[in-house]
Chains A and B, each alone.
Chain A
Amino acid sequence: MREQEVSILVGGKAGDGINSAGAVVAQFLNHLGYAPYLYFDYPSLIRGGHNFAIIRGAQKAIGVHRDPVDFVLALNRETVTRHQERFHKNTVIVFNEDTVHADGQGVPVSRILSEEKAPAVMGNSAVIGAFAKAAGIPWDTVHAVFSAHMPKGVDLNLRVARRAYDHVMTVLPIPRLGNRRLSLITGNEAIGLGMVAGGMSFYVSYPMTPSSSLLHFLAENAGRFGITVIHPENEIAVMLMALGLAYGGQRTAVGTSGGGFCLMTEGLSLAGMAEIPVVLLVSQRTGPSTGLPTYTAQSDLHFILHAGQGEFPRFVVAPGDAQDAYLWSAVAMNIAWKFQIPAFILADKTLSEGVYGIDPSGIPAIRVDEPLSWDGTEPYRRYADTPAGISPLTFPGTHGAVVKMNSYAHDESGITTEEAGAVRQMSDKRARKSAGLAAEMETCETVRTNGVPGNGTAIACWGSAKGVCFEVAEEIGLRAVQPVVLSPFPKVQLTYALEGATRLVVVEENATGQFAALLRLHGIAPDATILRYDGRPFSPDALLPRLREVIA
């Protein structure tokens, strides 16, 4: 066991409820005073296959799992055979002895279930109860976590867990730490909460992993958040419906992954030309095409930066963890409406479906900024040219206003034109919005740093790779930088963060070094890239040897 931290692997087949079991284990660690993180690994199928979750608790907030595990909760035999390389000499295996033969703490799951007259689905509670005892977790903690986090059947689950708890011995007690309890949420939940905080009234989405869990979360909670959630016929309709909603005055977001976003690009370009605010979550998975639906990637960066015909301003933010995701999703909503542009939240499977611990008392305060509005003194012109390029907004239904949106090149009133001067005027107007957006971003903290700021060797990363890179930089004393905002490119802040660095190593999860290429485009030359493109996120254990290789 690493000092002041613990890692637990829960494994079984799809349909065994591995993710829910992992969430319960994560709450145990939370209640013991650890900052938890959960990585969930599952194939794209409904039943069968091998699912596992790695739950890690540490003294400080973390955003990545480690490869070695201290405990294994094996719901099937494959969990033991498949993960041997993660075990160390003290790893404790807690297993269902009906199906698994191993050295460790066996639980007679079927006997407990039949004696308690409990359904098969509660078998996990037996293994979880046995784990709690093996790890020296007090029964009060088990009781508190089950009571707060089991959606139903708490009493019966507790009876099943208690039988297993009493059946095994405490073999590797997890010491209690003194940290305050955190809120455990997925990246997609954080994005949804940020959108809600940013004033979203409609969310429109067609299901696509790994964005779907945001659709489910917002649909489930639409009533309490005061929003409406729509699932239309395809992503083309999603995007166009969102633009209609925004034209009608509703702050709207859409969500998808790369394949769905392909279908949204004509609507994206329309948003650029017609100057319509819209927020897009694009959560990346391994491509090209259908690729690996349930595995991660950072290979859509250039696609997002350049999608859509023609030239128009866009805002792209790539949060690195749940805390970032909450803040920047709200910011994206305000930016979209302030500048009347598309604003992207670029995530990936690791961020979207990972579970992070955030301090609920430390979440940033969000203000919903009202967009520039028409004051009614002059006849309304939807594309009135202004020094900042931002035209006052009003919506159809407003007394005395004719609101004309247009996908064609248009004049200030929104009527089609092919006149050269007017075309150039509107293009210049959109360019001034780009400049204004870049200036506004200079007033925000768009680049995060960690590790040793003065070290001559710097790791640059983006998105969810923040978790692994920041941890590794701290561990071996390097500098780490992560631009959260990728468009407009935060050149000033990034240059400042890299001041004095003599060696720059880029770490990203794609095969071509897209972020490294973006840096080069802006005059920052990386010395080396460390790439991973097998659908799995870097762990510190996988990254460290490769990092040592390039900086040796």
Chain B
Amino acid sequence: MTGRQLITDAQNTWCPCCGNFTIQHTLKAVLSDMERAGTSLDEVVLVTGIGCHAKMADYLNINSFYAIHGRALPVATGIKLANKKLTVICCVGDGDAYAEGLDHLIFAAKRNIDITVLVHNNRVYGLTTGQYTPTSPLGFRGRSTPAGTAEFPINPLELMLASGATYIARGYTRKMDQLKQLIAGGIGHKGFACIDILQICATFFNMTEYYNAHIYDLPADDKSDFLVACTKAREWDYNSEKPIALGLFYRQVFPTFEDRVVREPVQKPDRKAVISAFLGAQQ
């Protein structure tokens, strides 16, 4: 299929000014570029969790697996293992990836499975109407924590570095061109790519002014130094009043999980003969 209509007929139900629109249009632009460059979109799969972000599966006219909350990553891992030729992209929320499915995120990074994860990090639960998430700042007043949270946010970039991800970036929904480059770079990277996308929630946690006042762009220099990346990732801890770096933090090339575990070429033994031989040896 070429030149396909990339948006489905499904009715869009995101709130006006939601950051998800930016991510959708950015992803659409990246897919169009891929198609122009010769990639068949028949070989692209989108996997989502559950949350506002996940409606992307209904809205984009590509192969999709609309999974369950927190579990997009093991599904995506299975898809990549099933067919290494597929380009597998995950759209997940911050509650999805950093709370319910944190174990899967760490293990996907640890394995360096060649998938690209876009974390729609609005730092609040939107679809369940406004509770804190793992990246909400200390003291965040949500509907489950009316007196303010009593816990610090986690720093997902630091976590991804510690876990073994080989492409780590932070984007922002108000900087679409940069976001497009980061997503395209993640898809092009052979290995586990995690892009934490600061996304405003127009209804429950609108951080637009704060982000606009604190962001700056990382220089386009060498990104292979782990310690430099760690220091940079720790500059802003998702809580304190610090400059917020945007761009690519770390990139390194390592063997991928699917190449290590799936034998090539796939051997097709005569199973009947193999089973008979096994049974014969047990006599």
A interface, CB within 8 angstroms of B: 30, 148, 181-185, 193, 196-197, 202, 204, 221, 223-226, 228, 230, 232-234, 236-238, 240-250, 252, 266-267, 270, 274, 358, 360, 363, 366, 395-408, 410, 414-416
**A to B CB contacts below 8 Å, 16 in the list:** A148-B283, A181-B283, A225-B274, A226-B269, A241-B81, A244-B47, A244-B75, A244-B76, A244-B81, A247-B82, A395-B82, A397-B83, A401-B63, A402-B1, A404-B57, A407-B50
In the complex, A360→B283 CA distance in Å? Answer: 9
Verify B78–A183 contact, CB threshold 8 A: no
Q: Which of A182, A233, A249, A415 contacts B82, CB < 8 Å?
A: A249
B71 at the interface (CB under 8 A from A): yes
Q: Which of A182, A196, A233 contacts B107, CB < 8 Å?
A: A233
Chain B, interface residues (CB within 8 Å), range: 35 or more
Q: Which of B260-276 contact A (CB under 8 A)?
A: 261-263, 266-269, 271-272, 274-276
Chain A residue nearest to B83 (CB atoms) is A248
Verify A396–B107 contact, CB threshold 8 A: no
Closest-CB distance, A277 to chain B (whole angstroms): 13
Residues on A with C-beta less than 8 A from B276 are: 360
Closest-CB distance, A367 to chain B (whole angstroms): 10
A-B interface, 4 closest residue pairs, ranked by CB to CB distance from nearest: A244-B78, A248-B82, A240-B74, A244-B75
Verify B61–A247 contact, CB threshold 8 A: no
Closest-CB distance, A398 to chain B (whole angstroms): 7
Chain B residue nearest to A359 (CB atoms) is B279
Residues on B with C-beta less than 8 A from A225 are: 269, 271, 274
Closest-CB distance, A304 to chain B (whole angstroms): 20
Closest-CB distance, A204 to chain B (whole angstroms): 8
B10 at the interface (CB under 8 A from A): yes
Residues on B with C-beta less than 8 A from A270 are: 67-68, 71
Verify B78–A226 contact, CB threshold 8 A: no
Residues on A with C-beta less than 8 A from B83 are: 248-249, 395-397
Closest-CB distance, A138 to chain B (whole angstroms): 17
Residues on B with C-beta less than 8 A from A415 are: 8, 10, 58
Residues on A with C-beta less than 8 A from B58 are: 415-416
Verify A400–B79 contact, CB threshold 8 A: no
Residues on A with C-beta less than 8 A from B43 are: 396-397
Closest-CB distance, A236 to chain B (whole angstroms): 7
Q: A360-B283, A399-B42 are known contacts; what are 7 more A-B pairs with Cβ within 8 Å?
A: A243-B78, A244-B79, A248-B79, A403-B63, A404-B63, A406-B66, A416-B10
Closest-CB distance, B43 to chain A (whole angstroms): 5
Verify B268–A400 contact, CB threshold 8 A: no
Q: Which of B42, B62, B281, B282 contacts A398, CB < 8 Å?
A: B42
B38 at the interface (CB under 8 A from A): no
Closest-CB distance, B199 to chain A (whole angstroms): 21
Residues on B with C-beta less than 8 A from A226 are: 266-269, 271, 274
Verify A360–B107 contact, CB threshold 8 A: no
Verify B279–A185 contact, CB threshold 8 A: yes
Q: Which of A399, A406, A407 contacts B40, CB < 8 Å?
A: A399
Residues on A with C-beta less than 8 A from B263 are: 223, 228
B146 at the interface (CB under 8 A from A): no
Residues on A with C-beta less than 8 A from B63 are: 396, 401-404
Chain B residue nearest to A266 (CB atoms) is B68
Identify which of B263, B267, B272, B283 gathers the most chain A CB atoms within 10 Å of its CB. B283
In the complex, A398→B82 CA distance in Å? Answer: 13
Verify A244–B268 contact, CB threshold 8 A: no
Verify B74–A244 contact, CB threshold 8 A: yes
Chain B residue nearest to A270 (CB atoms) is B68
